[in-house]
Homo-oligomer: A and B are copies of this chain.
Amino acid sequence: MRRIAYGVAAAMALLGAIARVGVAPARADADITADFGMSLPPGYRDWRLISVAHEEGKLNDIRAILGNDIAIKAYRDGALPFPDGAIIARLAWNYTSSEENNKAFGGPQSFVAGTPTNVQFMLKDSRKYASTGGWRFVQFDDGKPVEAARLSGCFACHLPVKARDFVFTKYSP
């Protein structure tokens, strides 16, 4: 019975929260769009995984690509173009040899994520960013936004994957 009482109390609290959301709907989404590019989107580190990759060369990173709920749903549904509100995050870390893992594996074969390099995001708003395929590209170095001029080449680089709504990363099952 005590558990039921807790459940009821929790539900009543939630009821209040939901009623408040009802009065000021979609507050969180609106804020993300409005502030997008000014600060890291809240909760992005909790987003679900789309895929992983490794870049050699100057970047020399290992990366995870995450998506907010709208992006993940679109990927899983195979729905293109991505709907407005979709956000794709690319987190990258320095590509780092792991001595500890190599010992366990018995050979120099293991590479892990070291210190973070930067975080990039693509936000879909088909009207607001119509001139760049409906996407806004932003980047954060140490949590601070990079000036737009440095990102002016993003869209041109993504043009070859126009057929996938300008998104390189494919979903990994």
Stretch at the interface among A15-23, A120-128, A130-138: A15-23
The one of B3, B18, B172 that contacts A23, using a Cβ cutoff of 8 Å: B3
Q: How many copies of this chain are found per oligomer?
A: 2
Complex CA distance for A111 and B172, rounded to whole angstroms: 13
Contact A105 B14 (CB under 8 A): no
Contact A100 B8 (CB under 8 A): no
Q: Which residues of A contact B (CB under 8 A)?
A: 3-4, 6-8, 10-12, 14-15, 18-19, 21-23, 25, 45-46, 48-49, 51-57, 59, 62-64, 66, 91, 93, 95, 98, 100-101, 103-105, 107-113, 116, 157-158, 160-161, 168-170, 172-173
